Amino acid sequence: MNNFQYYAPTQVVFGKDTENEVGALTASFGCKKALVHYGGKSAVESGLLDRVYRSLDENGVPYVSLGGVMPNPRLSKIHEGIALCKREGIDFILAVGGGSVIDSAKAIGYGVVNDGEVWDFYEQKRIPSACLPIGCVLTIAAAGSEMSDSSVITNDEGIKRGYVNKVCRLKFAVMNPELTFTLPVYQVACGCVDIIMHTLERWLDPKRVDSELTDSIAVVLMKTVMRNALILKDIPHDYNAAAEIMWAGSLSHNGLTGCGGSGGDWSTHQIEHELSGMFDVAHGAGLSAVWAVWARYVYKSLPSRFAKLGAEVFGVSSNNEEKTALFAIDSMEAFFRSINMPTSIHELGVDLTEEQIKELAFRCSFSGKRKLGSFHPLDIPDLEAIYRKAK
Ligand code: NZQ
Ligand code: ZN
């Protein structure tokens, strides 16, 4: 097993009615005045926001609110949040929502305690020294931002960029699976794809050898999400299925399923981020639309890991490595279809022009400055070919 570091400092408070503990939790981290940050309308309409406010009031935590975070969160809202926090003397951010709200909170947290333009961090121009403390009430199992060290934001030109730094890891995450019952089925399925992908991108790692425990955790996690995604498709309010998926979402992206590896290969995420930046599609659906095309393009450079996926997740018993690898790709694609996720960009409602394909590839390569991937490096012509095949 390779050397590794594992750092997952977030206090998880999991289960029914746990949102009522949010005031006491926020107070316990010494908060003097909080920003309650939320999205479009779901947390208002479900009554969740009122319960959060009540809990803060009961625990004597003063707060101001900033809603309106859009999926694929925007830099303009982050600037608004930074200004509000500075004006109000905010020392803690409480994010009520999913990955977009939490990521917006992380970016605001960087912007409040570091001078200058916050987008610089996402362009890798500077490194923030700290981040405001953040807690969350999670309303969707998907991005894993509640335990991850990453945040992904989009500027007003539609450029989407991620930034990784352990200082943004949340102080606490309140996770009540019942809060996800108001989600549209499409959004639940998007979340399931994203959760699988966070473990799968770590799994496809050229240097990951002799990681029996990590591989076993990864296999169980992917199988658990697949089984329970199908349950939720038929019985959307099945508490145990929602709970399994919510917990898997956090464990899939807090580093656990990559311990002993060298980081994996995040090409599919990078290819997707350009799509959701340019066309505002849901992240999980974008991943589903491109993954199999990418996988068929690169699998020959790492057949053993694709074949191990076929053997351990999809139960193939064959000595033919190539056939098993291809079977794994076909099976994952079939699973995506079984939960009504797209397997082409056209199904996202986007009909790419040749000009857009070139622009996506150019942006994804950071204007030709980088190649993507750890085992099959992708340059601009490769990326164009993948967008074209996934079209
Ligand atoms: O804004 P509201 O009205 O709340 O609606 C949201 C939004 O439209 C809705 N929703 C959330 N909880 C709901 C609900 N609707 C009804 N009932 C509920 N309980 O769902 C929609 C999607 O929400 P969003 O927060 O965007 O979803 P998700 O958690 O999938 O986050 C996606 C974002 O996270 C980024 C993605 O790129 C994307 O920008 N990611 C962040 C990562 C990280 N920070 O570690 C890693 C991921 O790979 C990902 O890139
Ligand atoms: Zn993701």
Q: State which ligand 1 atom lies nearest to the alpha carbon of 45.
A: 3
Q: Which ligand is nearest to the CA of 154?
A: 1
Would you say residue 209 has pLDDT above 90?
A: no
Residue with tokens 């009615």: 17
Would you say residue 179 has pLDDT above 90?
A: yes
pTM of the model: 0.98
CA of 190 to the centre of ligand 1 (A): 9
Where does 185-390 sit in CATH, by number?
1.20.1090.10
CA of 55 to the centre of ligand 1 (A): 24
* Radius of gyration over every alpha carbon of the chain, rounded to an integer in angstroms: 20
Q: Is the CB of 148 under 6 A from ligand 1?
A: yes
What are the domain boundaries of the chain? 11-179, 185-390
Choose among 288, 295, 339, 331: nearest CA to 311: 331
Q: Is the CB of 20 under 6 A from ligand 1?
A: no
Q: State which ligand 1 atom lies nearest to the alpha carbon of 69.
A: 1
Q: Is the CB of 77 under 6 A from ligand 1?
A: no
pLDDT (average), residues 338-357? 98
Q: What is the model's pLDDT at position 131?
A: 98
Q: Is the CB of 72 under 6 A from ligand 1?
A: yes
Could you report the per-residue pLDDT of 6-65, keeping only the tens digit for each? Answer: 999 999 999 999 999 999 999 999 999 999 999 999 999 999 999 999 999 999 999 999
Q: Which of the four CATH numbers 3.40.250.10, 3.30.930.10, 3.40.50.1970, 3.40.50.2300 does domain 11-179 have?
A: 3.40.50.1970
Q: Is the CB of 283 under 6 A from ligand 1?
A: yes
Could you report the per-residue pLDDT of 71-84, keeping only the tens digit for each? Answer: 999 999 999 999 99
Nearest-angstrom CA–CA distance, 176 and 17 = 7
Q: Is the CB of 187 under 6 A from ligand 1?
A: yes
Nearest-angstrom CA–CA distance, 139 and 101 = 10
CA of 242 to the centre of ligand 1 (A): 16
pLDDT band of 299, cuts 50, 70, 90? very high
